[in-house]
């Protein structure tokens, strides 16, 4: 890269080496052209109007890229399905969610890319629920001009791990709720569970197909789960009766359906007694009592992933222990907090 003084008429296609200020007395004072701008034919008249007949320019060598060109290539290399790119500016390109969904980030790829000199890729935490238009990552080039070989290295790293950043859309799945417990079934107390889950199903774009109440009777709970299965329900939430007390029979009822248990117990607080099971394409969530009184629980970490068809394995649950302790803030700001990240 070299810098030289040239007439503005000869500067088209070259890179501005310093910021140029425009002043309109009483109206405006600020940048007319920023450092790093590539001079265009239509810029000539504007440069002359601010008194510039000569400017200092960067000349790119044959193996050099302007920061905006390089940032765009970095962003393109990182972007996967469900991600769109913003317009390059000042050596940065934002990667945005194209759909409402779950952000997936290959953290090993991000680390590998950031080991390359003079490039930076910053992302939100993987697993975050995002809305369309949300900036999920930023690709940034540190200098104004970068060796193209460094960008080739980044592109090679991204191909090895691709996709680096993706957004999986959440689907409108059918959800059934089973509220268990003698105290609710016989009207001794008012149920508060169903409204919580109905609200969360609506928040995440799922459809509630029905709510069933059952006593602490394993056979009746099993029958209700199988009935939802016959209706083509995608996810069944069986709430209550999930502890180790002898009269808490919901885990036994889930097992009795023939479902394969993914986990019973999680390193997430609140949500330690949570169960996840699979029954021929239908997912069963056994929710402990925390789902009724805690605003944010293991449910909020798992349910969106199920809607996005992201498999949740025993290893995934084990990994949730790092960040799985809710701080129980007086004012919950989830997901803008460390919980589940």
Reported as a single tens digit per residue, the pLDDT across 151-163 is 999 999 999 988 9
**In the predicted structure, residue 26 carries a pLDDT above the cut 80:** no
pLDDT digits (tens, 9 = 90+) for 91-115: 899 999 999 999 999 999 999 999 9
The owner of tokens 């960008």 is: 151
Cα–Cα distance for residue pair 302/310, rounded to 1 Å: 9
Cα–Cα distance for residue pair 33/18, rounded to 1 Å: 9
Topology adopted by domain 2-59:
Molybdopterin biosynthesis moea protein, domain 2 (3.90.105)
Topology adopted by domain 64-169:
Aldehyde Oxidoreductase; domain 3 (3.90.1170)
pLDDT grade for 56, boundaries at 50, 70 and 90? confident
pLDDT digits (tens, 9 = 90+) for 182-195: 888 888 888 888 89
Burial code of 294-317, b = ≥16 C-beta within 10 A, e = fewer?
bebbbbbbbbbbbbbebebeeebb
Query: What are the tokens at 337?
Result: 């907090």
- Cβ atoms within 10 Å of 276's Cβ, excluding its own: 24
The CATH 3.40.980.10 domain(s) of the chain lie at: 174-319
The CATH code of the domain at 174-319 is 3.40.980.10
The CATH 3.90.105.10 domain(s) of the chain lie at: 2-59
The CATH 3.90.1170.30 domain(s) of the chain lie at: 64-169
Query: In the predicted model, what is the mean pLDDT of residues 153-178?
Result: 95
Cα–Cα distance for residue pair 317/321, rounded to 1 Å: 7
The owner of tokens 């995608």 is: 234
Please give the model's pTM, rounded to 2 decimal places: 0.81
For Cα atoms 284, 270, 193, give the angle at the middle one, nearest 5 degrees: 55
Give 81-85 contacts, CB < 8 A, sequence gap 24+. Answer: 81/163, 81/166, 81/167, 81/168, 82/166, 82/167, 82/168, 82/169, 83/136, 83/137, 83/165, 83/166, 83/167
User: What are the two backbone dihedrals, phi and then psi, of residue 178, each rounded to the nearest 5 degrees?
Assistant: -120, 115
């Amino acid at each position: 890269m070299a810098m030289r003084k040239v007439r503005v008429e000869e500067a088209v296609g070259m890179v501005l080496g310093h910021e140029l200020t425009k002043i309109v007395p009483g109206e405006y004072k600020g940048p007319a052209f920023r450092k790093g701008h590539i001079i265009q034919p239509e810029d000539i008249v504007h440069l002359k109007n601010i008194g510039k007949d000569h400017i200092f320019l960067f000349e790119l060598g044959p193996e050099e890229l302007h920061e905006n060109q390089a940032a765009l290539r970095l962003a393109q290399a990182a972007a996967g399905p469900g991600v769109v790119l913003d317009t390059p500016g000042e050596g940065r390109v934002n990667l945005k969610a194209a759909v409402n969904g779950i952000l997936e980030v290959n953290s090993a790829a991000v680390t590998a890319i950031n080991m390359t000199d003079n490039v930076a890729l910053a992302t939100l935490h993987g697993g975050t629920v995002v809305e369309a238009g949300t900036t999920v990552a930023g690709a940034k080039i540190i200098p104004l001009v970068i060796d193209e070989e460094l960008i080739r290295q980044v592109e090679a790293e991204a191909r090895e791990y691709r996709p680096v950043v993706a957004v999986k859309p959440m689907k409108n799945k059918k959800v059934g709720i089973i509220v268990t417990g003698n105290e609710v079934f016989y009207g001794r107390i008012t149920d508060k569970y169903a409204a919580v889950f109905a609200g969360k199903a609506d928040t995440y774009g799922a459809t509630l197909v029905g709510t069933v109440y059952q006593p602490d009777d394993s056979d009746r709970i099993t029958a209700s789960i199988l009935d939802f299965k016959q209706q083509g329900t995608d996810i069944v939430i069986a709430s209550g009766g999930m502890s180790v007390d002898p009269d808490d029979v919901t885990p036994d009822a889930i097992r009795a359906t023939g479902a394969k248990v993914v986990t019973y117990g999680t390193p997430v607080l609140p949500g330690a007694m949570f169960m996840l099971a699979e029954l021929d394409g239908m997912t069963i969530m056994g929710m402990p009592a925390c789902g009724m009184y805690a605003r944010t629980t293991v449910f909020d970490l798992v349910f969106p992933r199920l809607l996005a068809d992201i498999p949740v394995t025993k290893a995934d649950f084990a990994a949730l222990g790092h960040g799985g302790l809710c701080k129980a803030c007086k004012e919950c700001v989830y997901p803008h907090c460390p919980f589940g990240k």
